[in-house]
Chain A
């Protein structure tokens, strides 16, 4: 079974709008990561947030983490057509950081 579950499964927005994706997980974690995958390519790391952090920013990305609800959200502000991709959350599933468990992803489509 997968640790992280993203919501929604797919999201279509206009360029310039904000995109919000959510991730829920089941067990305690040490950190949670977000990755992007362009069609047919390998994943690219976006941001990592540790369990003792509540919010983190990187450029147009904002990630929040609520360990009491076992959930995280990724906000992409002022989206661009180039942001079209699949976005995955990944957790270390409280295994000492040895294993990373990925969710099924959110497919984001940004219309120009």
Chain B
């Protein structure tokens, strides 16, 4: 039982490049979330999903897109990366919106 895994762990992008972050969970959770965490701050919700095939915007969705084609996977895409998107990205999942289980994070730097 791996829990929540994230790929990759680290990435450096140049401004304007695109990339996709992958989150996978093996707990059969319905809900999945993408957050970003900036230095000295809490987590801010980017997008979330309440089930396979569904997605919704969080607090800071601009510049990001998501997809939930399979229940166990939640993908976060950056179409044209900007330095303001330099952050640590966390994925989480929960059964029905209560206790969330977090992945180890992806540290992204945009130059």
Contacts and interface: CB of A to CB of B under 8 A. Distances in A.
A85 interface: no
Contacts of A97: 96-98
Contact of A31 (B4, B59, B90, B98): B98
B69 interface: no
Interface residues of B, number: 27
B98 A42 contact: no
Interface in A95-112: 96-105
Given A42-B104, A101-B45, A48 B40 contact: no
B42 A88 contact: yes
A2 interface: yes
B77 interface: no
A100 B59 contact: no
Contacts of A35: 100
Interface centre among A35, A97, A99, A103 (most CB of B within 10 A): A99
25 contacts: A2-B42, A2-B44, A33-B100, A35-B100, A40-B105, A42-B4, A42-B90, A43-B43, A43-B92, A45-B101, A88-B43, A97-B97, A98-B31, A98-B50, A98-B56, A99-B45, A99-B48, A100-B33, A100-B45, A101-B59, A102-B42, A102-B43, A102-B44, A104-B42, A105-B42
Interface of B: 4, 31, 33, 35, 40-45, 48, 50, 56, 58-59, 90, 92, 96-105
